[in-house]
Chain A
Amino acid sequence: MPKRRDIETILVIGSGPIVIGQAAEFDYAGTQACLALKEEGYKVILVNSNPATIMTDTEIADKVYMEPLTFEFVARIIRKERPDAILPTLGGQTGLNLAVQLAKAGVLEECGVEILGTKLEAIEKAEDRKQFRALMNELGEPVPESAIVHSLEEAYEFVQQIGYPVIVRPAFTLGGTGGGICTNEEELIDIVSTGLKMSPVHQCLLERSIAGYKEIEYEVMRDANDNAIVVCNMENIDPVGIHTGDSIVVAPSQTLSDREYQLLRNASLNIIRALGIEGGCNVQLALDPDSFRYYVIEVNPRVSRSSALASKATGYPIAKLAAKIAVGLTLDEMINPVTGKTYACFEPTLDYVVTKIPRFPFDKFESANRRLGTQMKATGEVMAIGRTFEESLLKAVRSLEIGVHHLELKDVNTAADDVIEKRIRKAGDERLFYIAEALRRGVSVETLHEWSQIDRFFLHKLENIIKMETVVQSHPGDLEVLKKAKALGFSDAAVANLWNKTERDIYELRRQEGIVPVYKMVDTCAAEFTSETPYYYSTYEEENESIVTEKQSVIVLGSGPIRIGQGIEFDYATVHCVWAIKQAGYEAIIINNNPETVSTDFSTSDKLYFEPLTAEDVMHVIELEQPVGVIVQFGGQTAINLAAELEARGVRLLGTTLEDLDRAEDRDKFEQVLSELGIPKPAGKTAVSVEEAVAIAEEIGYPVLVRPSYVLGGRAMEIVYGQEELLHYMEHAVRVNPQHPVLIDRYITGKEVEVDAISDGETVVIPGIMEHIERAGVHSGDSIAVYPPQTLSADVIEKIVDYTVKLARGLRIVGLLNIQFVISDSDVYVLEVNPRSSRTVPFLSKITGVPMANLATKAILGAKLAEMGYETGVCPTREGVFVKVPVFSFAKLRNVDISLGPEMKSTGEVIGKDMTFEKALYKGLVASGIHIQPHGAVLLTVADKDKAEAIDLARRFVEIGYQILATNGTAATLKAAGLPVTVVNKIHSASPNILDVIRQGKAQVVINTLTKGKQPESDGFRIRREAVENGIPCLTSLDTARAMLQVVESMTFSTTAMTEGLVRS
């Protein structure tokens, strides 16, 4: 069927900020879709509030709106732009929910906007539990017994009928937010109450638990002509009970016979046809391991995380084709972009095994509940490809960047047997490693199956790996054994460990003996057709298919899995780096392992190697490709961390040299640089022992900022106010020794400012300066950043520019650098310099129009910024105000303290832009999910040190008509200042206490600066968690509160009584 000519303009809704359950995969999908629609000649209007995305680049859509993804703003854009159609299936749950809202409110009808892809009716049939069940019954597709409940009473009723365990799934929530499995009454009360609150329609589905069934997913596509295909099926190694986003997943399914495969395939196609979806759809099924019985668990009538994974696992670009289907094209008339010869209407077949392992944020959130269940907790994922299951799994394991290179995790080998059993029975994020350890201790596959319900197939494969360890160990130097181990995916580090050699020894031995991997192509068709796709993975076999071209090439290292501190921003810069390399006339080669990203779209680079980012795996590619050099600046700390090892192996790093990278990152060298340049920094020293740390802190005076060196995202960074606290920190948070020094700095209270700059060694271009709302001490990634600076004097700005230029030149930066300053009075101190692309590069690039990653790449490749029309100094300020507001995923992570501090906690960010600061911030806050109420009540509980400051804040709230609620201490202060305050009881007092106030929605904002820390039992902690769980904005920095107040004030007309007596007197 030809594409539709009756529509010209299409509005695409993005997915907004990165949160747990909705990550970079939607940038990948959205970018593909926008480009696909443009390719077909449509005018594309995009709305997305996430500045860190490729899709919001102005090259991707015809018009880009970076506005909040709320009904009000999107409706306004629709009324203004009058698009002919809207494509809501590429923006995750956010996009879908918005479309439903817009349709129900009549906006789409009013403006004559058609929904493309999946019709409203289908969205509702798939998403509304009741309608979904009715449809499944109609189709004869089995669903587990269930009930839809709107209250706890209804939940009781259901459980009385079918008994425990039951699964709770709140309706219309992201990544299963608020759901869980209940095995007893206590859990039922807890989870159902939360679930009802989380669900925008106050509805939960309770269903019989089918935990232990095989969880199988099918990614299906259908066009308007009713052609329907399966792109990929996937099997979760973790059986039903753990969210698929948190499960280790393999593609294709491994333990299904053809009959089972076809049974579930038929069901999936049946469903997509019945829903009438035109595009992609994800069907999750549960299959009884002991019969043909199966249940349909869930259907996502849109592209999803799983479809991104399926696209990367097969090469088949689901989002791109889904977009084309949405405008009327059919699968049988579109060419399969991978082969370039065959048609898109076929089912990809794999000749390799794909493993996906989720990446969890628990390294950041020590207190978080690590138990996995139906609510997703992972922030990102890695994927690996191999020709054996073992190879694919072990490659994925070492891609995780959690300090493991094999199925060995720190401290697991010393765990007691009963702990091992517990960790396997109750799945947490580290279960795989516990299973490996259990196998080493001789626990049988049968027992492990009983503990974990993981299919014996996978357990036997793990056993294979463990058995190979013994073989390797008992055959030191044996090349045949080495070959076998490599084919099973063993890293050099793992072999080195078993042979008591260094990783480098093993690598060199292999090189000498020719035991090196070959590269195979991912081509959707198992080599049945020739294919031009430059998408490769390594394996230890005979034939290499990756042909090195005549063209000079440059290798770019990606940033690996998305985690807190290293998000999509680094993929953004990586993609721009790749594009710039192409522009400069080189062949751009990328190595990365994150399936969610644009950088791992095979059409982004000239060649894509889907590989772990370890020295060994990267070296293999380098030795084959013989590039001009390697760029490590854009892949965050992942790539930077590889720099030294690569250079040691003779690789040429492009851009800032290793020596200079080290001068910026090594504390002592950096201090020397600063003193040479005459740039001040807060007093501080490096400690290599606990005693030394104490002495240094005494010397410079408390409070001090302590952190391990070489960290990203402020991991383990804390502000310490006294010696006792310092000792606790040294003991618990870090391992200090000469190899792992701890940095101790004076903590300066002041305004924080952040700058990104591009340098070619001579010209230093500063696109803009960003001022943080929160004072120093809150991690820059968690601060609200404002451009242009609102309160800095010309003098201060001059100093910042001067220091930046000096540092760029002094550190001999070629490429990007990021500097954080703290301003105290009018003194400017340097906090840190990151000699690489930073989190703010996409934000700053977009708002200033300076293509930072592109310029930096060209500078790295030898071009001069002056020749490209840039000069040293800060670029002219753009009109308007732009704010970057962090977004957190606290609702998904129980037991995590939400208070802001030096350690980064946010998962994503949004942009707010307008002509005034207040309007921009309003948009930023709204886009980040905060509801700003023009009136209501504010609940204040602040620490003693903040009380004076709180008075001013409270007064202004009173001024605009807010009611003030406060706990005793705070209330006393406020009362003394003459403010009207309602006292609320402390936590342990009788009801209604502070928690009740929050639960009952009596406060619209909570401001809490009490007892920060990681102890879940503290009062402050409970107050903050209660606010999060009830969806009430909770501000833990008075700076944020003040900024928000400023916004509310600006929304409110002043209501001042007439001044008395002026006339008469």
Chain B
Amino acid sequence: MKRQLILEDGSFFVGEAFGSLKETTGEVVFNTGMTGYQEILTDPSYCGQIVTMTYPLIGNYGINRDDFEAICPYVHGFIVKEACSIPSNWRGEMTLDAYLKEKDIPGLAGVDTRKLTRLIRQHGTLKGMICGLDVHPAEAAAKLRAMEWPRDQVKRVSTKSAYPSPGRGERVVLIDFGMKHGILRELNKRHCDVIVLPYNATAEDVLSWHPDGVMLSNGPGDPKDVPEAIEMIRGILGKVPLFGICLGHQLFALACGANTEKLKFGHRGSNHPVKDLRTGKVAITSQNHGYAVTHESLVGTHLEVTHVALNDGTIEGLRHLDFPAFTVQYHPEASPGPEDANSLFDEFLTLIREFSKKGEVIHA
């Protein structure tokens, strides 16, 4: 069945429908990863977005039981050149189409995704709508332009209540702003005793768990839409070691007095080079963000840039000069994408251990 993607600038792409047949709107973004569509679909950071895959053949290895990054997907739509109807992989259990149908997410195949990507690159991310051919593009575009964008994505994807993921190691409170399972997995792998808290946990809530460290997760949308989290971070800064990823990184920067801005079309993919300014080494990282911390806003803060994106120089990592806290804009938990930066989780644990030693000295 033919359906279409209409963009706010009036352009439209006709393709073959798959997945759900409901009408959907969202911010149209592209991801350049050649593998990892299952993780991308289920990454809560894509909440409210329509994701275009630049690699043309998607769904080749099906959907398996293991590679979900959240219990359910929050992506608003999925656009591909070709959705594989007969996948082949030993772990594959269902087709992409069947999964999207089950989760009621509309998909559109047969699209010149390269044309769409070039459009986004030139104009920046655009609002879009996947709908039937009966919808008039110009009218839909006008509607899209006038549309007020939701600002509650974090609330929608965060856990509603606290829950533990027990371990015998360090106690880490993990704030779920739209957490990928990968983060939890990395902490569990290191035997951490994890308590996951909702996005609106207060500093008191956090500290009441007597954490050895606090982890700020990734999540969707504009960090400025989550003022309660910024407040919480201010309340715990210096009291407990902090590690933030993606949205967690942006929230941390805002809490420390820096500013964020929206990027033209963001960084989404598995091939983003990030330079560690302390070692001069480059890691290839997995990224998914539409906002970034601005360089000029760091003036006067006690933050130091530790990592930058090699290609556009945007800030990819920060460290607090006075307190045990560091954050990165990219995804060291990978899934999907390269695992080059995986050791950041070890650094976090080292930081926790050093801090607790210092603490002992102070209290002694």
Binding site for B on A (CB under 8 A): 225-227, 229-230, 252-259, 261-262, 265-266, 269, 289-291, 331-332, 341-343, 345-353, 387-389, 455-457, 460, 520, 525-530, 541-543, 545
A345 with B90: CB separation less than 8 A: no
Contact of A349 among B113, B271, B275, B334 (CB under 8 A): B271
Set of chain B residues within 8 Å of A389, measured between Cβ atoms? 57
Known: A262-B339, A332-B275, A343-B311. A542 touches B112 (CB 8 A): yes
For residue B337, which residues in chain A have a CB less than 8 angstroms away from its CB? Answer: 258, 262
Q: Are A258 and B35 in contact (CB under 8 A)?
A: yes
Q: Which residues of B contact A290 (CB under 8 A)?
A: 90
**Contact digits for B27-54, partner A, Cβ 8 Å, 1 yes 0 no:** 0001011111011000000000000001
Chain B residues lying within 8 Å of A351, measured Cβ to Cβ, are 32, 54-56, 113-114, 117
The distance in angstroms between the C-alpha atoms of A253 and B280, with both chains bound, is: 31
Flag if A353 contacts B32 (CB, 8 Å).
no
Closest 8 CB pairs of A and B: A258-B36, A543-B115, A457-B88, A526-B54, A258-B336, A347-B271, A258-B35, A542-B112
The 8 Å CB contact of A457, one of B36, B87, B113, is B87
With A343-B310, A348-B271, A389-B57 known as contacts, the answer to whether A262 contacts B284 (CB < 8 A) is no
| 11 residue pairs from A and B, CB less than 8 Å apart | A258-B36, A258-B270, A262-B336, A341-B311, A346-B271, A346-B273, A351-B54, A352-B56, A353-B57, A456-B86, A528-B269
Interface pair B113/A346, CB less than 8 Å apart: no
Report the minimal beta-carbon distance from A902 to chain B, rounded to whole angstroms: 47
Contact residue among A256, A258, A331, A460 (Cβ-Cβ distance under 8 Å from B39): A258
Residue B281 at the chain A interface, CB threshold 8 Å: yes
Which of chain B's residues have a CB closer than 8 A to the CB of A527?
54, 114, 117-118, 121
With A388-B82, A541-B114, A542-B112 as contacts: A347 and B67 at CB distance below 8 Å: no
A345 to B309, CA, bound (A): 11
B252 at the interface (CB under 8 A from A): no
CB pair A541 B271 closer than 8 Å: no
B358 at the binding interface (Cβ < 8 Å)? no
Asked, given contacts A256-B61, A528-B121, A543-B118, whether A349 binds B336 with beta carbons under 8 Å apart, the answer is no
Is B208 engaged at the interface, CB distance under 8 Å to the other chain?
no
Question: Is B115 a contact partner of A541 (Cβ separation < 8 A)?
Answer: yes
* A352 / chain B contacts, CB cutoff of 8 Å: 56
Interface assignment of B161: CB less than 8 Å from any CB of chain A = no
Given contacts A256-B89, A349-B54, A542-B112, 14 further A-B contacts (CB under 8 A): A229-B284, A230-B284, A253-B35, A255-B61, A261-B34, A343-B273, A343-B310, A347-B338, A349-B270, A351-B55, A388-B82, A457-B87, A460-B88, A528-B269
Bound CA span A290–B33, Å: 24
* Complex partner residue of A346 from B13, B66, B112, B284, CB under 8 angstroms: B284
C-alpha gap A289/B88 in the complex (Å): 10
Q: Assuming A350-B34, A527-B118, is B112 touching A257 (CB within 8 A)?
A: no
| A contact residues around B340 at 8 Å (CB) | 269
How many Å lie between the Cα of A589 and that of B262 in the bound state? 41
Question: Are A528 and B32 touching (Cβ within 8 A)?
Answer: yes
Contacts of B38 in A (CB 8 A): 257-258
CA–CA, A347 and B35, complex, Å: 13
Query: For residue B281, which residues in chain A have a CB less than 8 angstroms away from its CB?
Result: 225-227
**CB of B3 closer than 8 Å to a CB of A:** no
0 or 1 for each of B85-116: is its CB under 8 Å from A? (1 = yes):
01111110000000000000000000011110
Report whether B57 and A345 are in contact in the complex, using a CB–CB cutoff of 8 Å: no
**B residues in contact with A261, CB < 8 Å:** 34-36
Q: A388-B82, A460-B88 are in contact. Are A332 and B34 (CB under 8 A)?
A: no
- Of B34, B82, B115, B269, which contacts A542 at CB under 8 A? B115
Given A332-B273, A343-B310, A541-B115, verify A258-B67 contact (CB < 8 Å).
yes
B residues lining the A interface (CB < 8 Å): 13, 30, 32-36, 38-39, 54-57, 60-61, 64, 66-67, 81-82, 84, 86-91, 112-115, 117-118, 121, 269-273, 275, 280-282, 284, 310-311, 334-340
Whether the Cβ atoms of A346 and B310 lie closer than 8 Å is yes
CA A470 – CA B118 in complex, angstroms?
36
B311→A342 contact, CB < 8 A:
yes
Task: Give complex CA distance A352, B112 in Å.
Answer: 11
Cα distance, A528 to B338, chains bound together (Å): 18
CB distance from A261 to the nearest CB of B (A): 5
Instruction: Tell me the bound Cα distance from A387 to B125 in angstroms.
Output: 24
Contacts A345-B310, A349-B54 given; indicate if A387 touches B115 (C-beta within 8 A). no
Interchain CA distance A525-B34 in the complex, whole Å: 11
B86 contacts across to A, CB distance below 8 A:
456-457, 460
Cα separation A227 to B340 with both chains bound (whole Å): 10
Contacts of A225 in B (CB 8 A): 280-281
Shortest distance between the CB of A946 and any CB in chain B (Å): 60
Contacts A258-B335, A387-B56, A543-B112; A345 near B273 (Cβ below 8 A)? yes
Q: Which residue of A lies closest to B87 (CB)?
A: A457
Q: Report which residue of A341, A349, A545 has the largest number of chain B beta carbons within 10 angstroms of its beta carbon.
A: A349
Q: How far is the CA of A1018 from the CA of B121 in the complex (A)?
A: 68
Q: Which residues of A contact B91 (CB under 8 A)?
A: 257
Contact B114 A331, beta carbon cutoff 8 Å: no
Which residue of chain B has the shortest Cβ distance to A227 in the bound complex?
Answer: B282
Q: Which of A254, A259, A291, A542 contacts B57 (CB 8 A)?
A: A254
Which residue from chain B places its CB closest to the CB of A387 in the assembled complex? B56
> A229-B284, A387-B56, A387-B81 in contact; A346/B311 too (CB < 8 A)?
yes
Return the chain B residue nearest A463 by Cβ: B86
Interface contact B34-A349, CB-CB below 8 Å: yes
Complexed CA–CA distance, A345 and B113 (Å): 25
Least CB distance from B337 to A in Å reads: 7
Q: Which residues of B contact A388 (CB under 8 A)?
A: 56-57, 81-82
User: Whole-angstrom distance from the CB of A662 to the nearest CB of chain B?
Assistant: 43
Query: A526 and B273 in contact (CB under 8 A), knowing A226-B281, A255-B60, A543-B112?
Result: no
Nearest neighbor of A526 in chain B, beta-carbon distance: B54
Closest to A388 in B: B82
Task: Kindly provide the distance from the CB of B57 to the nearest chain A CB, expressed in whole angstroms.
Answer: 6
Max chain A C-beta neighbours (<10 A), residue from B56, B60, B64, B84: B56
User: Roughly how many angstroms separate A129 CA and B220 CA in the complex, as a whole number?
Assistant: 50
- Once the chains are docked, how many angstroms separate the CA of A637 from the CA of B109? 42
Query: Which residue on A lies nearest to B311, using beta carbons?
Result: A342
- Chain B residue contacts of A346, Cβ below 8 A: 271-273, 284, 310-311
Question: From residue A610, how far is it (CB to closest CB) to chain B in Å?
Answer: 16
Q: How far is the CA of A525 from the CA of B270 in the complex (A)?
A: 11
For A229, list chain B residues within 8 Å (CB): 273, 284
Q: How far does the Cβ of A593 sit from chain B's closest Cβ, in whole Å? A: 20
* Cβ–Cβ < 8 Å partners of A525 in chain B: 32
Residues A455 and B88 in contact, CB atoms below 8 Å apart? yes
- Residues of chain A contacted by B13 (CB below 8 angstroms): 542
Q: How far is the CB of A139 from chain B (nearest CB, A)?
A: 16
A225 to B33, CA, bound (A): 26
Closest CB in chain A relative to B197 CB, distance in Å: 29
- Bound together, the chains give a CA A545 to CA B114 distance in angstroms of 10
| Complex CA–CA separation, A225 to B282 (angstroms) | 9
- With A257-B61, A262-B334 as contacts: A520 and B114 at CB distance below 8 Å: yes
Taking a contact as CB atoms under 8 Å apart, the answer to whether B114 and A349 are in contact is no
Whether A347 touches B114, Cβ cut-off 8 Å, given contacts A332-B273, A353-B56, is: no
**A353→B87 CA distance, assembly (Å):** 17
Which of A225, A258, A388 has the largest number of chain B CB atoms within 10 A?
A258
Q: Is the CB of A456 within 8 A of B88?
A: yes
A103 to B272, CA, bound (A): 39
CA distance A351 to B116 in the complex (A): 12
In the assembled complex, which residues on chain B have CB atoms less than 8 Å from the CB atom of A269? 340
Smallest CB separation, B134 vs chain A (Å): 20
Contact of B270 among A227, A347, A456 (CB under 8 A): A347
CB atoms of A350 and B55 under 8 A apart: yes
From A262, A343, A353, A455, B338 is in contact (CB under 8 Å) with A262
CB-nearest residue of chain B to A331: B282
Q: Which residue of the partner chain A has the closest CB to B284? A: A347
Residues of chain A contacted by B66 (CB below 8 angstroms): 259
A residues less than 8 Å from B67 (CB atoms): 257-259
